[in-house]
C-alpha cells in the first residue's frame, strides 16, 4: 500500500509524494500536456522521478479529437512521435535525452517501415530499444511506444 499527496507545481507539472511501506518517500512530478492525448485509463501521461522521466505508452491518438489517426504504420508511428514530442517538450527536454524506448507493434511485418519513422525522429541520438510484436494494442492501433529519458536537472 502507498499513500499519495498532491501538491501543485509550476505549469502543467504536479508534484506528489510517494510513501510505501518500505519507508521510501520521495517527490515525483506528474507530467501532463495537451500536446499529447489524455490518458484513456487510470494512469498519467508521464512522471519525473529522481532525474528520470518515465512515459506511459503513447498510441496514435490525435490529442484534440482523441481519435486514432487514419492510415497505416507510417501515419500511426508519425502521430506517436508527435505525441512523444509533446511529452518531451512538457518535460523541458528533447529526443536527445531519451535513454530507452520500448516499442510494441501489432505486426512485425511493419518493422522496416516503423524503423524508417523511428530513425527520422531520433536521428543520430539513438536510444537503447526493445521492439516486440503483440497480439493486440489499445483501440486496435498498430504501434505503441513508451520511453525513459533523463531530465536536464
Domain containing residue 27: CATH number? 3.30.1330.40
Q: How many CB atoms lie within 10 A of CB 142?
A: 23
Bridge partners of residue 27, in order along the sequence: 17
Q: Write out the three cell numbers for 102.
A: 520500448
Q: Write out the three cell numbers for 67.
A: 481519435
Cα–Cα distance between 149 and 110 in angstroms, integer? 25
Q: Is the pLDDT of residue 20 over 80?
A: no
Cα–Cα distance between 41 and 101 in angstroms, integer? 21
Question: Which tops the pLDDT comparison, 104 or 23?
Answer: 104
Cα–Cα distance between 3 and 106 in angstroms, integer? 36
| pTM for the model | 0.84
Residue length of the chain: 153
What's the mean per-residue pLDDT of the chain?
88
Cα–Cα distance between 127 and 10 in angstroms, integer? 29
Measured CA to CA in angstroms, residue 9 lies from 18, 68, 72, 91 at distances of 16, 31, 39, 13
- Domain hosting 127: range is 2-150
Give the whole-number percent of the chain exceeding pLDDT 90. 80
Domain count along the chain: 1
Residue 111 makes CB contacts below 8 A (sequence gap 6+) with 105, 131
User: Which residue in the list 44, 69, 131, 148 is annotated as catalytic?
Assistant: 131
Let me know if 103 is a catalytic residue: no
Amino acid at each position: 500500500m502507498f499513500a499519495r499527496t498532491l501538491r501543485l507545481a509550476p505549469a502543467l507539472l504536479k508534484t506528489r509524494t510517494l510513501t510505501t511501506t518500505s519507508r521510501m518517500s520521495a517527490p515525483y512530478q506528474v507530467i501532463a500536456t495537451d500536446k499529447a492525448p489524455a490518458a484513456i485509463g487510470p494512469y498519467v501521461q508521464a512522471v519525473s522521478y529522481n532525474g528520470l522521466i518515465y512515459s506511459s505508452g503513447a498510441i496514435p491518438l490525435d490529442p484534440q479529437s482523441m481519435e486514432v489517426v487514419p492510415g497505416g504504420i507510417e501515419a500511426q508511428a508519425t502521430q506517436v512521435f508527435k505525441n512523444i514530442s509533446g511529452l518531451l517538450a512538457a518535460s523541458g527536454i528533447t529526443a536527445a535525452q531519451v535513454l530507452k524506448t520500448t516499442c510494441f507493434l501489432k505486426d512485425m511485418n511493419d518493422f522496416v517501415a516503423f524503423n524508417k519513422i523511428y530513425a527520422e525522429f531520433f536521428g543520430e541520438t539513438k536510444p537503447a530499444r526493445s521492439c516486440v510484436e503483440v497480439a493486440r494494442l489499445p483501440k486496435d492501433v498498430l504501434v505503441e511506444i513508451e520511453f525513459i529519458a533523463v531530465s536536464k536537472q
